[in-house]
Amino acid sequence: MIEYYQPQAGQNLAFADIDLGTPAVNSDTTVTMSVDGVEVTVPAGTSVLRAAALAGIQIPKLCASDNLESFGSCRLCAVQIEGRRGMPASCTTPAEEGMKVTTQNDKLATLRRNIMELYISDHPLDCLTCPANGNCELQDMAGVVGLREVRYGFSGDNHLDAEKDHSNPYFSFDPSKCIVCSRCVRACEEVQGTFALTIQGRGFESKVAAGQNEDFLASDCVSCGACVQTCPTSTLMEKSIIDQGQPDHSVVTTCAYCGVGCSFKAEMKGNQLVRMTPYKGGAANHGHSCVKGRFAFGYATHQDRLTTPMIRDSIDQPWKPVSWEDAIQFAADRIKGIQAKYGRESVGGITSSRCTNEETYLVQKLVRAAFGNNNTDTCARVCHSPTGYGLKTTLGESAGTQTFDSVMESDVIMVIGANPTDAHPVFGSLLRKRLRQGAKLIVADPRHIDLLKTPHLGEAIHLPLRPGTNVALVNAMGHVIVTENLENQAFIQNRCDTALYSKWREFIAQERNSPEASESITGVPAAQVRKAARVYAQKGNSAIYYGLGVTEHSQGSTMVMGIANLAMATGNIGRDGVGVNPLRGQNNVQGSCDMGSFPHELPGYQHVGVDELRKNFEQAWGVDIDNEPGLRIPNMFDAAIEGTFKGLYVQGEDIAQSDPNTQHVQKALSSLECLIVQDLFLNETAKYAHVLLPGSSFLEKDGTFTNAERRISRVRRVMPPVAGKQDWEVTQDLSNALGYPMNYGHPSEIMDEISRLTPTFTGVNYQRLEQLGSIQWPCNDDHPVGTPIMHVEDFPIGKGRFVLTEYVPTEERSTRRFPLLLTTGRILSQYNVGAQTRRTDNQIWHDEDVLELHPHDAEERGIRHGDWVGITSRAGDTVMRAVVSSRMQPGVVYTTFHHPGSGANVITTDNSDWATNCPEYKVTAVQVERVTQPSNWQQRHQEFDQQQRHFLNSTTAETGG
């Protein structure tokens, strides 16, 4: 039985390229019917249109699509059913046992031709010059029904002069071509959940309208493109297709932006990418996308791309363009020289969460085998390292427990410190769909996030806690659960370590953990916390989704364990609809952790200190590996400033912009004798480099990414690398130049090595990925097609382990000098440090970072909307424009970090999580005041930026690049 919400491995691929007309139905019973004499068995409730398509019979259709509920407006899908009168629409007629359907006879043919004739009589007859020519459902259907002539002329009323809307940077709207099928309106509602479109007017006057009859850009439209994709005409059309024409081939690959890991068809014209179409066979996205993955791909061919390797002796010198061989040799000689002078431990590497698993694996292997130390780390240090620590300690595995689709079985959805509609938009849309179906929502966040504004949202509880008080809140919820006996005792007795549970119970039941006692800490009324705890514990399947608002705190790891405690205490682990789900930020941050990027863990989270685990790698790699963990990123910075750490290889990571306390990072980078940066652009880190190695975009290489569901998906090369090499080839060359041989011919060989050395990956290989489409690890003999839901029978550590989660206030508190708390986050249109999205038309939505503050705080300081404000913390100061917003609570201000010149991380401090050193980005005490000029740091940054750009541009001019 085809089942949307309980995906079986590979099933998404079965009909990935066919539109079956109406969505799959979830039913335990089946019915058997015949279509044109062909018998077909389908789940009860399936439409006749879909049943016919499953039997291989395509009934003409226009208003139906298999990602939308049937609508029944065009009547083109009419059929005849034995024993019934008339010609019902097959898209709205459910299949029944014994039904006999005829899809083709003269009467039906005449009806369909008449319908098409009416459509075409109010449609421009410019097919040959229309951008959709050859890829237009209206044109196809005219051909299918055999329409040869139109009896009605254009002399009467028509829509041919309707005004076009070109306001959106990526698609245009030409109402003269619209057949008012409502597919766009329904896609915006049902798939995306934004409700930006309506059909206005009636009969002949009816038309599609965005927002309050505005243009698309001014409306609530978030530019996801679902309407464009579903439009059966060229009314809604990608500008890239209008400009460049229809593609001639396509390749399925994986989005390189966020941790949702959407699958796309990269549609090509020769080597030119003309459209990214979300792939229905993608198990993470089922054919949906957001504005970034679908439209913001222009960065890959942007003129700023680095195309030539470059070297220099010091950062105040211009660059010298050299061959790949010379650049690699220069880098290797420098690293060897530094190690000879300062010791083996004086160099290290940072792997990239943007690069593939195979590339990340190679960088950490290079550090451990060629550098000969464990000084490897990754950006997960600054985002989800507490997830790794917290979930491993409590549940025994460092990853989320569910599939995204699992949320469709949830009755209660608790979102803590995450903003899915902006940061994980495709999952945000799925979540909204479940909320519209009636699931209850609990949001713990200092801000009133957009999820709380979901159209048709049912019961929702917002817990607007003060930044830094997560642990007090989760403890208060735990307190309610145990003191009101809301635990799932059967789960606790069978699945958990009961001695640890008893200790936790005793701790959490103490009055100091009650909602009433915590109210003065969190700022959340006790009654609200009690209500949230009761809903979470009592209303069926409860799932927790959390983000960096949980991890990026001095108690990030404690909070992750507090969340796991709640899930175990209520038995919300190990089945669909429940679980603990970190929403991973970057496309491959899960993978970069899995691949052994951390200084203490080899691939598959195998600790370097455990002899028998380390020996496997030593034998396979033919080297001795240090049994002591190496330096974490913050330790590398400190050691660089102290003078003991001198060389760093950074692949695809802009630490100078993304890491906290920018001035400290800049000082560390300036102290290095050799900084090797491999990246697409001259990013902030690259301005401190001695060796610049051009990186390759996801379109230029083969490999795999692993998303937030542990899903490994293929990345496929669709165009040649602009500088001639894929990133893994560059790492391999560097290793060879350092004297440690690597000889892979293709990333699949690297994956084969990973599988041999990583117990959770033994079943993963490229052939199986081709067969199944994607695989959620663990994938091994016990789980040959992967593991959608974790911890179903037991935990990898046997019994689940409750941990005491004492609330310890952060040292970063508001004071008289710094009376406000700054917290940071993301927005939909930009991504992370913005290196990609700033080089696309997404700039139209967010071309600078701004400071959001509550009207009360603004008024107290005489600040008006749009004023320049200085933001000062004990780490530094910067200047941004103010946005006065009641989304904030008084006392809390908010910004993003997508633009380097805004200096958001100049103000964040180097406070960090006690267990993992994950920085406390989410809590910085600041003062805000009106100013008239940029900060000193911004002025220095601008000068340095101009100098480095000049060095680069003069080099490019010389080489004609």
DSSP 210: E
Closer to ligand FES by CB, 73 or 378: give it. 73
With CB under 5 to 8 Å by kind, the binding choice for 184 among ligand FES, ligand SF4, none is: ligand SF4
Closer to ligand FES by CB, 75 or 575: give it. 75
CB 533 within 8 Å of CB 355: no
Closer to ligand FES by CB, 137 or 733: give it. 137
Cβ contacts of 860 within 8 Å, gap of 6 or more: none
Q: Considering the rule CB under 6 A, would residue 241 count as an interface residue with ligand SF4?
A: no
Distance of CA 276 to the CA centre of its chain: 16
Residue 933: φ, ψ to 5°: -145, 160
Per CB under 6 A, the list member of 292, 466, 632, 899 interacting with ligand SF4 is: 292
Q: Which two tokens stand for residue 185?
A: 């309106």
Closer to ligand FES by CB, 177 or 466: give it. 177
Place of tokens 């911890």: 791
Alpha-carbon torsion (163, 167, 172, 173), positive or negative: negative
Q: Considering the rule CB under 6 A, would residue 261 count as an interface residue with ligand SF4?
A: yes
**Smallest distance, Å, CB 224 to ligand SF4?**
4
CB 131 within 8 Å of CB 241: yes
Q: Considering the rule CB under 6 A, would residue 187 count as an interface residue with ligand SF4?
A: yes
Closer to ligand FES by CB, 61 or 462: give it. 61
> Any idea of the CA torsion for 171, 173, 177, 183, to the nearest 10 degrees?
80
Closer to ligand SF4 by CB, 262 or 529: give it. 262
Per CB under 6 A, the list member of 11, 277, 289, 935 interacting with ligand SF4 is: 289
- d(CA 823, CA 820) in angstroms, rounded, equals 10
Q: Considering the rule CB under 6 A, would residue 196 count as an interface residue with ligand SF4?
A: yes
How many other C-beta atoms are found inside a 10 Å radius of the C-beta of residue 83? 7
Q: Considering the rule CB under 6 A, would residue 577 count as an interface residue with ligand SF4?
A: no
Q: Which two tokens stand for residue 479?
A: 């307190």
Strands (E) located in 228-379:
236-238, 249-254, 263-269, 272-278, 310-311, 320-321, 347-351, 376-378
Strands (E) located in 630-730:
647-651, 674-679, 691-694, 703-706, 711-715
Q: Considering the rule CB under 6 A, would residue 426 count as an interface residue with ligand SF4?
A: yes
- d(CA 769, CA 714) in angstroms, rounded, equals 7
- d(CA 102, CA 93) in angstroms, rounded, equals 13
CB 788 within 8 Å of CB 776: yes
Q: Considering the rule CB under 6 A, would residue 266 count as an interface residue with ligand SF4?
A: no
With CB under 5 to 8 Å by kind, the binding choice for 956 among ligand FES, ligand SF4, none is: none
**Smallest distance, Å, CB 65 to ligand FES?**
9
* β-bridge pairing 542-546 and 412-416: parallel
DSSP 438: T
- 3-state DSSP of 442-459: EEECCCCCHHHHCCCCCC
With CB under 5 to 8 Å by kind, the binding choice for 334 among ligand FES, ligand SF4, none is: none
Closer to ligand FES by CB, 181 or 560: give it. 181
Place of tokens 């904030």: 888
Q: Which residues bind ligand FES (CB under 6 A)?
A: 61-64, 72-77, 89, 91
Closer to ligand FES by CB, 75 or 436: give it. 75
Q: How crowded is the C-beta side of 62, counted as CA atoms within 13 Å?
A: 26
**Smallest distance, Å, CB 724 to ligand SF4?**
27
With CB under 5 to 8 Å by kind, the binding choice for 233 among ligand SF4, ligand FES, none is: ligand SF4
With CB under 5 to 8 Å by kind, the binding choice for 76 among ligand FES, ligand SF4, none is: ligand FES
Taking alpha carbons only, the member of 956, 958, 942 closest to residue 305 is 956
**Smallest distance, Å, CB 101 to ligand FES?**
14
**Smallest distance, Å, CB 569 to ligand SF4?**
32
By CB under 6 A, which span of 127-135, 176-184, 402-410, 531-539 interacts with ligand SF4?
176-184
Which of positions 207-236 make contact with ligand SF4 (CB under 6 A)?
A: 208, 221-227, 230-233, 235-236
**Smallest distance, Å, CB 61 to ligand FES?**
4
* β-bridge pairing 38-43 and 868-872: unpaired
Distance of CA 738 to the CA centre of its chain: 36
Closer to ligand SF4 by CB, 74 or 566: give it. 74
DSSP 47: B
Strands (E) located in 764-861:
774-776, 820-825, 850-853
Per CB under 6 A, the list member of 255, 492, 580, 595 interacting with ligand SF4 is: 255
Per CB under 6 A, the list member of 262, 369, 473, 754 interacting with ligand SF4 is: 262
Q: Which two tokens stand for residue 804?
A: 């005491």
Q: Which residue is nearest to ligand SF4 (CB)?
A: 293
Closer to ligand FES by CB, 61 or 186: give it. 61
Q: Considering the rule CB under 6 A, would residue 591 count as an interface residue with ligand SF4?
A: no
Per CB under 6 A, the list member of 49, 55, 180, 589 interacting with ligand SF4 is: 180
Closer to ligand SF4 by CB, 222 or 332: give it. 222
Closer to ligand SF4 by CB, 258 or 650: give it. 258
**Smallest distance, Å, CB 524 to ligand SF4?**
30
Strands (E) located in 97-248:
100-102, 171-173, 197-200, 207-210, 236-238
Place of tokens 């370097």: 608
Q: Rule CB under 6 A: which residues touch ligand SF4? A: 178-184, 187-188, 192, 194, 196-197, 208, 221-227, 230-233, 235-236, 255, 257-258, 260-262, 285, 289-290, 292-293, 425-426
